[in-house]
Amino acid sequence: MYRKGSNFERELKKSLEEKGFAVVRSAGSHGVDIIAGRNGTIYIFECKSTSKEKFYVKKEDIDKLISFSETFGGKPYLALKIKGKWLFINPHLLHTDGKNYALDYKKIQVIAIDFKELVGEDRQIKFDEII
């Protein structure tokens, strides 16, 4: 499981760098996995990778992500590689009643954004931008 996660971290780091972000990866479990910034926007990522449709993320991991992001001044995201697809979820939208967040692939797609949205490539053009 750790190898899958660290491979995803490296893939995400490389993809963000290709889109012009300055990126730092924190190997090992130190609270956050990746910090990325571009043009004053800072993202903080906790990365997870799974091939299962339903899985758990420790509440402690999400709490660390939120706390670090607030201290650092960045936008937190739970970065998921699930069933080969990359999803990015604002952790403030997750809910738990216990020690873990139970995540279901079908349900999280509604609150997730994809990589193109994250880096600003999937932006819809407003009518007044055309004029």
Domain count, the chain: 1
Q: Which domain holds residue 113?
A: 3-119
Q: For residue 118, what pLDDT is reported?
A: 96
Would you call 78 exposed, middle or buried from its count of C-beta atoms within 10 A (0-12, 13-18, 19+)?
buried
Q: For residue 27, what pLDDT is reported?
A: 74
- Identify whether 85 is part of a domain: yes
Q: Residue 46, annotated ligand binder?
A: yes
Beta bridge partners of 44: 35, 76
pTM of the model: 0.87
- Identify whether 99 is part of a domain: yes
Q: Residue 121, annotated ligand binder?
A: no
Q: Can you give the CATH number for the domain in which 39 is found?
A: 3.40.1350.10
Q: For residue 83, what pLDDT is reported?
A: 84
Q: For residue 77, what pLDDT is reported?
A: 97
Q: Residue 104, annotated ligand binder?
A: no
- pLDDT tens track, the chain, 131 positions: 445 568 999 999 999 999 999 999 987 666 799 999 999 999 999 999 998 988 899 999 999 999 999 999 999 999 999 988 999 999 999 988 788 998 999 889 899 999 999 999 765 544 444 44
- Identify whether 128 is part of a domain: no
- Identify whether 57 is part of a domain: yes
- Identify whether 49 is part of a domain: yes
- Identify whether 129 is part of a domain: no
Question: How many CB atoms sit inside 10 A of residue 120's CB?
Answer: 11
Give the residue numbers marked as catalytic.
29
